[in-house]
Chains A and B, each alone.
Chain A
Amino acid sequence: MVVLRAGLCPGLTEEMIQLLRANGIRTVVDFVSSDLEEVAQKCSLSYKALVAVRRVLLAQFSAFPANGADLYEELKSSTAILPTGSPSLDQLLDSGLYTGEVAELMGAPGSGKTQVCLGIAASVSLGLKQHVLFLDSTGGFTASRLYQMLQARAEDKEEQASSSGAGPAAALQRIQVVRVFDIYEMLSALQELRDRLSQQVVSSMGPLKIVVIDSVSAVIYPLLGGKQSEGLAVMMQLARELKTLAREFSLAVVVTNQVTRDSSTGPLKPALGRSWSFVPSTRLLLESTEASWEKATTQRLASLVKSPRQPTGIQVELDIG
């Protein structure tokens, strides 16, 4: 529903717009769906000019159908599978995180979501030498823990040599961290990323392949609920932003979510409601293997709750220590 403006396409001048508006044509949809001969007569404008404008507007604003075979070829050439750094988790995700999709990690507090996110960032940065964007909204990003993970991984692969590009310090430089504590800050950070990628600005960012957001529910929770529907609208805005980023720029997007209960004894369910549950295509639930907090352990159980490729209900054990 875009309103007709003077600069929208060459040939659309201010007087033209005033005349059109006087006859009830305000938006692009009105213009394109009206009978141009009638319009030419009523507004005393040249028919040729109107047809030219309509052609440009259609080219600019309509969606083009694509062939399924072409889509498949494009997908095959542009999708990458990123290993998460933990073989059991890769097994759960059908060999890793797929670019072009949004994956969600959910769990109770202390279940290890931030640890898994740090592990994914470490694996992509050190193993694949790709850049990672980490949006932190809870303050849980601890660089020293990430460094610990990178060192452990580098020891495994014997890449301690400080050749350019390898080594934990270089890997740390490839991970960019943005601290956003508000939904609007998060949206502006994501839109800024989109602008940068679409203009293909080759800055310190480099080839970005994965965006990790920890956590999405911390910024949306204060807006949801009650009688205000604004929270839902902004949440869907965020969802659209994430999916556009994933799909258009072939990025893998990983988000973390909380879990809540209906009542104090009900079962755990993911936060943010049913509307959000349609956004990620893969959902993983992380739980501790011990029922109460009295026995401390680093073992976690990851179960697949939603996936487009694997049967749900598969569980694997993880060690986040």
Chain B
Amino acid sequence: MQRDVGSLPLAPALRARLVAAGFQTAQELLETGPCGLSKEIGISKEEALEALQVVRQECHGDAARSAGASGATRKCTALQLLEEEQAQGFIITFCSALDNILGGGVQLTKITEVCGAPGVGKTQLCMQLAVDVQIPECFGGVAGEAVFIDTEGSFMVDRVVDIATACVQHCQLIAEAHQEEDHLKALETFSLESILSHIYYFRCRDYIELLAQVYLLPDFLSEHSKVRLVVVDGIAFPFRHDFEDLSLRTRLLNGLAQQLIIIANDHKSAVVLTNQMTTRIGQSQSTLVPALGESWGHAATVRLIFHWDNSQRLATLYKSPSQKESTIPYRITSHGFRDVQPPAVSQNAEGTEMNPCKRPRREEEK
């Protein structure tokens, strides 16, 4: 295996010295041995030994890969991927229109970003998803646990209690209608206490804590292997204020995005991020665009933009690798995230069904 020295993951100063001393391939490094290496470049024997261990690991990784051990290296044909995807579940949002435009719900192993103006319902969706991911498989869920990383402090436990109670009632109704054995068995474990105890909550106050939390997440996830959802509520907030060096911000955000996609892929979980909106002042008009700049737009695989149209909340699917762009209305009730009811059914109930925690947003006379 003729790995080039420049492409090995060593410290840059060490790499520069190796190239200056004339080493070109990894094979040459391994042949020299630690004593010879430390003499040639002028580093201590321990450093030489460490460097050689890294090189050996890389080369043996290559050898194992070429021998056909494709389990750990994420290599497969598109046909295998298709089968995997078709067997994968979705996390439903309880709003069937939104599930439809997403192709079934929030997809596992992908990063979904939700952008919106303040008060439009991003945190509500996150809390709904944290409950929905725990729905047992016989009811159509993925039976997983959730990690909720909060940077804005907008996670309200009593709201989650409302959403969870509504979800459990919904499942009980289904179980009564169908009267199947596994439904009733699943309902025994699917209760308010179990839902709340399976949401792991982390509070990060600034960007350093957020970065540390995300980099430590793989260890946490390998202990709690049932986690199927990671929510970061407010990825824009710690990065938007108090950041002078914009190029550093871009680098950190991109590193964060890559780390999140690795987590999503390795642990088969969905990652949901919420982002804020900012105004871009064009030549003749100003538009609302998602915050954190152009390069952040590439981090998420699926992008949803929530916005208002008079008093109706709308969700637009802006970026998706498999679904078409479309817009649907939704609303937020005391039970959580729901579809807009067709107008014939509950005109009167609309007023009382409004979310009690939010200032009601209606026209003058309703």
Q: Please tell me the size bucket of the interface on B.
A: 35 or more
16 A-B residue pairs with Cβ-Cβ distance under 8 Å, sorted by A, are A110-B297, A118-B321, A138-B261, A139-B110, A139-B264, A140-B301, A144-B86, A172-B77, A173-B77, A178-B75, A182-B262, A184-B58, A218-B258, A234-B7, A237-B7, A241-B7
Task: Kindly list chain A residues whose C-beta atoms are within 8 Å of the C-beta of B316.
Answer: 293-294, 296
Decide yes or no whether A188 CB sits under 8 A from chain B.
yes
Decide yes or no whether A175 CB sits under 8 A from chain B.
yes
Distance in angstroms between the alpha carbons of A222 and B247 in the assembled complex:
10
Decide yes or no whether A108 CB sits under 8 A from chain B.
yes
Distance in angstroms between the alpha carbons of A145 and B78 in the assembled complex:
11
Chain A to chain B: the 10 pairs with minimum beta-carbon distance, closest first: A109-B297, A296-B325, A110-B319, A179-B74, A143-B82, A3-B22, A145-B322, A222-B255, A143-B81, A172-B79
Query: Across the interface, do B262 and A181 meet the contact criterion of CB distance under 8 Å?
Result: yes
The segment from B60-68, B194-202, B220-228 found at the interface with A is B60-68
Q: A226-B251, A260-B294, A271-B295 given as contacts; is B319 within 8 A of A219 (CB)?
A: no
Task: Kindly list chain B residues whose C-beta atoms are within 8 Å of the C-beta of A178.
Answer: 73-75
Decide yes or no whether B324 CB sits under 8 A from chain A.
yes
Query: Across the interface, do B295 and A139 meet the contact criterion of CB distance under 8 Å?
Result: no
Extra 5 A-B pairs, beta carbons < 8 Å, given A218-B298, A293-B316: A26-B22, A121-B78, A142-B85, A191-B1, A221-B251
Q: A115-B321, A140-B301, A142-B321 given as contacts; is B73 within 8 A of A224 (CB)?
A: no
| Docked complex: A69-95 residues within 8 A CB-CB of B | none
Decide yes or no whether B212 CB sits under 8 A from chain A.
no
Interface residues of A (CB under 8 A from B): 1-3, 5, 7, 26-27, 108-110, 114-115, 118, 121, 134, 137-148, 169, 172-182, 184, 187-189, 191-192, 195-196, 204, 215, 217-219, 221-226, 228-230, 233-234, 237, 241, 258-261, 264-265, 268, 271, 292-294, 296-298, 321
Query: Across the interface, do A298 and B324 meet the contact criterion of CB distance under 8 Å?
Result: yes
| Docked complex: B269-298 residues within 8 A CB-CB of A | 280-282, 287, 289, 293-295, 297-298
Query: Across the interface, do B12 and A258 meet the contact criterion of CB distance under 8 Å?
Result: no
Decide yes or no whether B123 CB sits under 8 A from chain A.
no
Query: Across the interface, do A225 and B248 meet the contact criterion of CB distance under 8 Å?
Result: yes
Query: Across the interface, do B28 and A5 meet the contact criterion of CB distance under 8 Å?
Result: yes
| Shortest Cβ distance from residue A30 to the other chain B in the assembled complex, whole angstroms | 10
Closest residue of chain B to A184 (Cβ to Cβ) is B9
Distance in angstroms between the alpha carbons of A314 and B8 in the assembled complex:
41
Q: A218-B254, A265-B281 given as contacts; is B75 within 8 A of A233 (CB)?
A: no
Task: Kindly list chain A residues whose C-beta atoms are within 8 Å of the C-beta of B62.
Answer: 188, 191-192, 195
Task: Kindly list chain A residues whose C-beta atoms are within 8 Å of the C-beta of B38.
Answer: none
Distance in angstroms between the alpha carbons of A321 and B287 in the assembled complex:
26
Query: Across the interface, do B1 and A195 meet the contact criterion of CB distance under 8 Å?
Result: yes
| Shortest Cβ distance from residue B59 to the other chain A in the assembled complex, whole angstroms | 9
Count CB-based A-B contacts (< 8 Å).
199
Task: Kindly list chain B residues whose C-beta atoms are within 8 Å of the C-beta of A264.
Answer: 280, 293
Distance in angstroms between the alpha carbons of A83 and B138 in the assembled complex:
46
Query: Across the interface, do B325 and A298 meet the contact criterion of CB distance under 8 Å?
Result: yes
Decide yes or no whether B21 CB sits under 8 A from chain A.
yes
Task: Kindly list chain A residues whose C-beta atoms are within 8 Å of the C-beta of B299.
Answer: 218
Closest residue of chain A to B23 (Cβ to Cβ) is A3
Distance in angstroms between the alpha carbons of A182 and B22 in the assembled complex:
27
Decide yes or no whether B206 CB sits under 8 A from chain A.
no
Closest residue of chain A to B31 (Cβ to Cβ) is A5
Task: Kindly list chain B residues whose C-beta atoms are within 8 Å of the C-beta of A292.
Answer: 287
Distance in angstroms between the alpha carbons of A138 and B300 in the assembled complex:
8
Interface residues of B (CB under 8 A from A): 1-4, 6-9, 12, 15, 19, 21-24, 28, 31, 40, 58, 61-62, 65-66, 73-79, 81-82, 84-86, 109-111, 247-248, 250-251, 254-255, 257-258, 261-262, 264-265, 280-282, 287, 289, 293-295, 297-301, 303, 305, 307, 316-319, 321-322, 324-327
Query: Across the interface, do A110 and B303 meet the contact criterion of CB distance under 8 Å?
Result: yes
Distance in angstroms between the alpha carbons of A293 and B290 in the assembled complex:
10
Tell me which of A27, A108, A187, A204 contacts B294 (CB under 8 A): A108
Q: A217-B298, A296-B326 given as contacts; is B247 within 8 A of A2 (CB)?
A: no
| Shortest Cβ distance from residue A265 to the other chain B in the assembled complex, whole angstroms | 7
Task: Kindly list chain B residues whose C-beta atoms are within 8 Å of the C-beta of A225.
Answer: 247-248, 250-251
Query: Across the interface, do B111 and A139 meet the contact criterion of CB distance under 8 Å?
Result: yes
Tell me which of A139, A174, A177 contacts B301 (CB under 8 A): A139
Distance in angstroms between the alpha carbons of A264 and B281 in the assembled complex:
9
Distance in angstroms between the alpha carbons of A122 and B261 in the assembled complex:
25
Query: Across the interface, do B294 and A268 meet the contact criterion of CB distance under 8 Å?
Result: yes
Distance in angstroms between the alpha carbons of A187 and B61 in the assembled complex:
13
Which among A258, A261, A271 has the highest number of chain B CB atoms within 10 Å?
A258
Q: A139-B301, A181-B262, A259-B294 given as contacts; is B321 within 8 A of A169 (CB)?
A: no
Closest residue of chain B to A7 (Cβ to Cβ) is B31
Task: Kindly list chain A residues whose C-beta atoms are within 8 Å of the C-beta of B303.
Answer: 109-110
Distance in angstroms between the alpha carbons of A181 and B6 in the assembled complex:
19
Task: Kindly list chain B residues whose C-beta atoms are within 8 Å of the C-beta of A298.
Answer: 324-325
Task: Kindly list chain B residues whose C-beta atoms are within 8 Å of the C-beta of A145.
Answer: 321-322
Distance in angstroms between the alpha carbons of A143 and B19 in the assembled complex:
41
Closest residue of chain A to B79 (Cβ to Cβ) is A172
